[in-house]
Amino acid sequence: MDHKINIVYFGQIAEGTGKQSEMIEAKELHNKSVREFLNQQYPGIDQYAFTIAVDNKISEICDPENTREIAVLPPFAGG
């Protein structure tokens, strides 16, 4: 079976995409950065500030076949 990755969105990014999460095929990220993929899916998303976390670690680098989750995190606002 093809490997799938869960993409999770938070805060204003979830508001912009209209969803909290979605499953994508790992192959959609072959030869493409996460940012490129997101820009393609959601044109204009690059106007927002966000950080990417791959399997709970802040990183832009993702090995699609070995990734469980990609989180798209807007600016932090704790406290």
Partner 1 sequence: MKKSLKEGQILPEFIADSIAKHQHKTNIGAHQIFLGQVRADLIDEKEVVAIEYTAHEEMAEQIIHEIREETFEKFDLTCMHIYHSLGRVEKGQICLFVFVSSGHRRAANEAIVHLVEAIKERVPIFGKEILEDGSHVWKQNTSLS
For partner 1, the binding residues (CB under 8 A) are: 8, 10-12, 53, 56, 71, 73-79
Calculate the CA dihedral of residues 25, 30, 33, 37 and round it to 10 degrees: -40
Query: Measured on CA atoms in the order 43, 31, 70, 51, is the torsion positive or negative?
Result: negative
| Cβ nearer to partner 1, comparing 18 with 31 | 18
CB of 32 to partner 1, least distance (A): 23
Residues 54 and 70: beta-carbon distance below 8 Å: yes
Q: Which of 18, 79 has the CB closer to partner 1? A: 79
Q: How far apart are the first and last CA of the chain?
A: 43
Minimum CB distance to partner 1 smaller for 32 or for 45: 45
What is the smallest separation between the CB atom of 42 and partner 1, expressed in angstroms? Answer: 17
